[in-house]
Amino acid sequence: MSTVKKTKSTAKKPAVKKPAVKKAAAAAPVAAQVTASDNGHGGAEGSGVRRRDFIHIATVSFAGVGAAAVAMPLVSQMSASADVLALASIEVDVAAIQPGQAIKTSWRKQPVFIRNLTPAEVEEASKVDVGSLRDPQTLADRTKPGKENWLITLGVCTHLGCVPLGAAAGEVKGEYGGYFCPCHGSHYDTAARIRKGPAPTNLVVPEFAFISDTVVKIG
Ligand code: FES
């Protein structure tokens, strides 16, 4: 049975702010006050000056709220990025994965597919005319020398990020025998290359290396 060893624990994902809601709530009363001032007391010069001052102040205040609303998610993203980068690599013993089988694991909070291709699947992937592919890559480009049967990819569709089917037993593998993303109908072949549907590129191959004959380190 394959085992997954995480060298560090995953960190808690930071809360995501919703700036649009906050921004809309702040903008509404500002717009309403400016309109009331223009329509109700437009005669006196002094009132006109005060009105202009108010519009100026209101605009600055609005800009301030907008900048704060934009800055908060930026800070969150920067912190998420540092957090994600700090996560460790994983080591997976793939000895128990038989030809034709795949497992799902996770790395840096993303699903990862580890697949042991059958000789027929290796042949199927190798005979494809690479020039005809949307994202031209050979199977050798996506695997390690001497271990072309071990296909390791992120389980994240490159269209909009759904998790494709095909790694678990009994799941639909799509028209090209690899993975199928039912969200919008992307089909990947036995090298996890995009062959049909809206996904622009192949499933991503993460950085990985075999540190023994059966243990692979991802990351
Ligand atoms: S997210 Fe996979 S096809 Fe759209």
Question: Which atom, in ligand 1's list, is nearest to the CA of 162?
Answer: 1
85-218: CATH superfamily: Rieske [2Fe-2S] iron-sulphur domain (2.102.10.10)
Instruction: Name residues whose C-beta falls within 8 Å of residue 117's C-beta, 6 or more positions apart in sequence.
Output: 99, 100, 125, 148, 149, 150, 151, 190
Pocket test for ligand 1, best of 154, 181, 195 (most atoms within 8 A of CB): 181
Whole-number Å distance between alpha carbons of 150 and 152: 6
Whole-number Å distance between alpha carbons of 89 and 71: 31
Pocket test for ligand 1, best of 184, 187, 201 (most atoms within 8 A of CB): 184
Distance of CA 99 to the CA centre of its chain: 29
Give nearest CA residue, ligand 1 atom 1: 160
Mean pLDDT over the full length of the chain: 74
Instruction: Name residues whose C-beta falls within 8 Å of residue 53's C-beta, 6 or more positions apart in sequence.
Output: none
Ranking 5-14, 66-75, 117-126, 209-218 by mean pLDDT, the lowest is 66-75
Give nearest CA residue, ligand 1 atom 3: 184
pLDDT in tens, 149-182: 999 999 999 999 999 999 999 999 999 999 999 9
Q: How does residue 216 score in pLDDT terms, banded at 50, 70 and 90?
A: very high
To which residue do tokens 């109908």 refer? 185
Ligand 1 center from residue 109 Cα (angstroms): 19
Give nearest CA residue, ligand 1 atom 4: 184
Whole-number Å distance between alpha carbons of 207 and 146: 17
Question: Which atom, in ligand 1's list, is nearest to the CA of 198?
Answer: 3
Cβ of 163 below 6 Å from ligand 1: no
Q: Which amino acid is at 43?
A: G
Cβ of 159 below 6 Å from ligand 1: yes
Whole-number Å distance between alpha carbons of 41 and 48: 8
Cβ of 162 below 6 Å from ligand 1: yes
The closest of 56, 58, 38, 57 to 48, measured between CA atoms, is 38
78 vs 144, more confident:
144
Residue 88 confidence (pLDDT): 86
Is-above-0.75 flag for pTM?
A: no
Active-site residues, by number, are 184
Spans of all domains in the chain: 18-79, 85-218
Q: Which amino acid is at 192?
A: A
Ligand 1 center from residue 156 Cα (angstroms): 9
Ligand 1 center from residue 163 Cα (angstroms): 8
Cβ of 199 below 6 Å from ligand 1: yes
Whole-number Å distance between alpha carbons of 81 and 99: 36
pLDDT at 55 over 80: no
The closest of 103, 93, 213, 219 to 151, measured between CA atoms, is 103
Ligand 1 center from residue 56 Cα (angstroms): 46
